[in-house]
Chain A
Amino acid sequence: EAGVTQSPTHLIKTRGQQATLRCSPISGHTSVYWYQQALGLGLQFLLWYDEGEERNRGNFPPRFSGRQFPNYSSELNVNALELEDSALYLCASSLGWGQSGFQPQHFGDGTRLSIL
């Protein structure tokens, strides 16, 4: 089966710009999660989408937003980029919450976002 795919692999932006990151989940998975992995900080939970709805978000400012499309793929948008937004952004997918609560996640390779 095809895994979770993320694009682009690398993204270079300058302060104040906007970035869009994309994620395609494994076929049959309806939950998509976004994480920020900054150096030394582990995975910080950003957003969780399930069946097209935002179910929860982490402690990030509103300039981090996203959406999930009818085919369950997802976008993460980061507005007004700041230097500290430089990080690896990971997407994960799983079977939907409604099927049996939280399930193991399958991760993509991430998008490396660099802010100059």
Chain B
Amino acid sequence: AQSVSQHNHHVILSEAASLELGCNYSYGGTVNLFWYVQYPGQHLQLLLKYFSGDPLVKGIKGFEAEFIKSKFSFNLRKPSVQWSDTAEYFCAVTSSGTYKYIFGTGTRLKVLA
């Protein structure tokens, strides 16, 4: 069955530290990949997406993610986090073969000022 794994459940960083959140998926076909973010008190919103082309995609607020097909990974990165990046981050994968949107269990990021 298709699945998405986010191995870091809780991450605590100081401001200006670099961030990398892991996302691995288990489907071998053509996939679309997403990162969503949920800031405290707000609804989930799209951070960035990968459909095809350049495997390094840039999103809002300085975030980027790299699709590595051979590793079934789509890790989220940010060179220097800010206190306002404190949120929960979800990786999601879709595929035309399964007609499902599969989300990971999320990573709670806390950035200390």
Interface residues of A (CB under 8 A from B): 3-4, 33, 35, 40-45, 48, 55-56, 58, 90, 92, 101-102, 104-110
Contacts and interface: CB of A to CB of B under 8 A. Distances in A.
A110 B90 CA distance: 16
Given A42-B90, A48-B99, A55-B99, A105 B105 contact: no
A104 B98 CA distance: 17
A42 B100 contact: no
B19 interface: no
A56 B2 CA distance: 14
Given A56-B98, A56-B99, A107-B36, 18 more contacts: A3-B43, A35-B103, A42-B104, A42-B105, A42-B106, A43-B103, A45-B102, A45-B103, A55-B99, A56-B100, A58-B100, A101-B32, A102-B101, A105-B44, A105-B46, A105-B101, A106-B46, A107-B44
Interface residues of B, number: 20
B70 interface: no
Contact of B32 (A56, A90, A102): A102
B82 interface: no
27 contacts: A4-B43, A41-B105, A42-B106, A43-B90, A43-B103, A43-B106, A45-B100, A45-B103, A48-B99, A48-B100, A48-B101, A55-B99, A56-B99, A101-B94, A101-B96, A102-B94, A104-B46, A104-B49, A105-B44, A105-B46, A105-B101, A106-B45, A107-B44, A107-B45, A108-B43, A109-B43, A110-B43
